[in-house]
Amino acid sequence: MDTPLDPFDRKILEFVQRDCQVNAEVIAEAVGLSASAVQRRLRRLRAEKVITAEVAIVDPQVVGQRMQFIAGIELKDNYEALPRIRTWVQKEPEVQQLFYVTGAVDLVMVILSKSVKEYDALSARLMAEVPQVIRMTTNVVIDTMKSDWYVPVDE
């Protein structure tokens, strides 16, 4: 990032994280800037990749994705497996997130699926295409107690 975040930028980020369609005039009134100043700052924050995306969050239940799984994956050769996993995961829209982590497993994968059968097919594809996967442990999400993309923008 070229320009450090100032208090105005931080306040603007607070607003757009909660609603990316909020009107510049509303933000301007709340933070004490003109609407055009807010728009300039938003353009800069996008250009500098502080704001990386503006998306609609869809309710998975409404579109038929009824089940969520969290899988822990153990690898036998991380350096060979990681590039293959990175390629594989790009082809799998059911995989929402994939984290390379420390601890008992090497990767943690979050998956949305219509059924256990579809999840089983996805895990079989992973095992077939990435032979370095030696173990997968799966947890079925019973209830989501919190799900938020908000990033604190404190100083």
Taking residues 44-73, report their average pLDDT.
91
> Residue 14, Cβ neighbours under 10 Å: how many?
16
pTM of structure: 0.82
Which residues form the domain of 35? 7-47
pLDDT digits (tens, 9 = 90+) for 85-138: 999 999 999 999 999 999 999 999 999 999 999 999 999 999 999 999 999 999
Domain of residue 33, CATH code: 1.10.10.10
Taking residues 33-56, report their average pLDDT.
95
Establish if 111 belongs to a structural domain. yes
Taking residues 38-52, report their average pLDDT.
96
Establish if 25 belongs to a structural domain. yes
Q: Are residues 19 and 72 in the same domain?
A: no
Establish if 13 belongs to a structural domain. yes
Q: Are residues 84 and 128 in the same domain?
A: yes
Tell me the pLDDT band of 149, cut-offs 50, 70 and 90: confident
Question: What is the model's pLDDT at position 1?
Answer: 65
Tell me the pLDDT band of 64, cut-offs 50, 70 and 90: confident
Question: What is the model's pLDDT at position 63?
Answer: 86
Question: What is the model's pLDDT at position 102?
Answer: 97
pLDDT at 37 over 90: yes
Q: Please state the domain count of the chain.
A: 2
Q: Are residues 42 and 73 in the same domain?
A: no
CA distances from 92 to 96, 106, 142 (A): 9, 19, 23
Question: What is the model's pLDDT at position 41?
Answer: 97
- Percentage with pLDDT > 90 across the chain: 81
